[in-house]
Amino acid sequence: MAKSTNLSRRKTLGLVCVCVSLLHGSTVVAQVIRFAPEKDYAPFVSVSSTGQVQGLSIDVLEILKPRLGVDVQMLAPDSLANILQATRRGEVDLISSLRPTQERAEFLAFTEPYVKVPAVLVVKSGTSPLFMKDLAGRSVAVGQGYAVESFVRANYPHVRWVPVPDDVSALRGLMRGDVDGVVADVASVSDATRHSGIRGVQVIETLPFEYELSFAYRKELKALGSALNTGLKEITPSTRHALLLRWIDAETLAYEDPQLSKVRKLAMALFVLALVSAATWRLRRKRNSDMGADGL
């Protein structure tokens, strides 16, 4: 009887190992979740000088891991283009720091965004201002496979787009003079100027595109997506803010488009002028009223 009971237990354990976990009523059929980190997408995910994978997205994932009910295996860091190809082949289950696109939605599902940053145009410092409208026929680098790549190709076809592996490569090419501009998210640009030796570049324009970064997972792993979303909702605003400040400097968090800043300052000046004019008018009216009273 004991032998039969042990055999039954082993069979049950084997079944659990195959199905792994029941989350919110659906089954994740995987023994481990294979997570593929990008190697150079700081401050969200990158490899440090000591070989450690780090970043805002990694910290968020660490908070979510206890909710997943399965082990997370970190794969070797790679470029986003290679990671997406591997995911199509079924070799990757989970990706971080990703924005939904129609093409990606063919084989991936996405959580709610956990961070949002604007895309910007970066040019060399000290050059005459070059905005997107001025770059017809000129070369601008953009991350290959990044969501913003399809956006800029569709909306700025007059630009000669140069796909590069990552934002740091793009900015180094700008420093060397290989390209006339770079499109990247403002947080990555800020991080590169702080930690990757990028110098002599400036943000010149904000594009009508916002990086709403999410976790992406293979579409069939619905329970994984449910667990990730549940975990994200439980992260408190104070924890989110602390994570942001750890990886993104306060100046970047308060970033304002230089063009919009000029408009805002002009509007504020006009507002102040209007207040002064109104006060002057009231003062003159009061004086006239007082003079009329004296005459009586």
205-252 residue pLDDT tens: 999 999 899 999 999 999 999 999 999 999 999 999 999 889 988 777
Q: What is d(CA 43, CA 109) in angstroms, rounded to the nearest whole number?
A: 23
Which domains, and CATH codes, for the chain?
2-115+213-253 (3.40.190.10), 116-211 (3.40.190.10)
Q: Which helix (H) or strand (E) holds 267?
A: helix 258-295
Output phi, psi for 116, to 5 deg.
-130, 130
Can you give the pLDDT at residue 282? 62
Lowest mean pLDDT among 109-123, 173-187, 238-252: 238-252
Residue 66 pLDDT greater than 60, yes or no: yes
Q: What is d(CA 181, CA 203) in angstroms, rounded to the nearest whole number?
A: 10
**Across all residues in the chain, what is the average pLDDT?**
82
**202 has which bridge partners?**
123
Q: What is d(CA 58, CA 96) in angstroms, rounded to the nearest whole number?
A: 8
Residue 29 pLDDT greater than 50, yes or no: no
Residues in the chain: 296
- CB-neighbour burial class of residue 67 (10 A; exposed 0-12, middle 13-18, buried 19+): middle
Determine contact, residues 207/120, Cβ cutoff 8 Å.
Answer: yes
pTM for this entry: 0.71
* pLDDT 10s digits, 135-161: 999 999 999 999 999 999 999 999 999
Grouping H, G, I as helix, E, B as strand and the rest as coil, residue 279 is helix
Grouping H, G, I as helix, E, B as strand and the rest as coil, residue 22 is strand
Can you give the pLDDT at residue 102? 92
Output phi, psi for 147, to 5 deg.
-60, -35
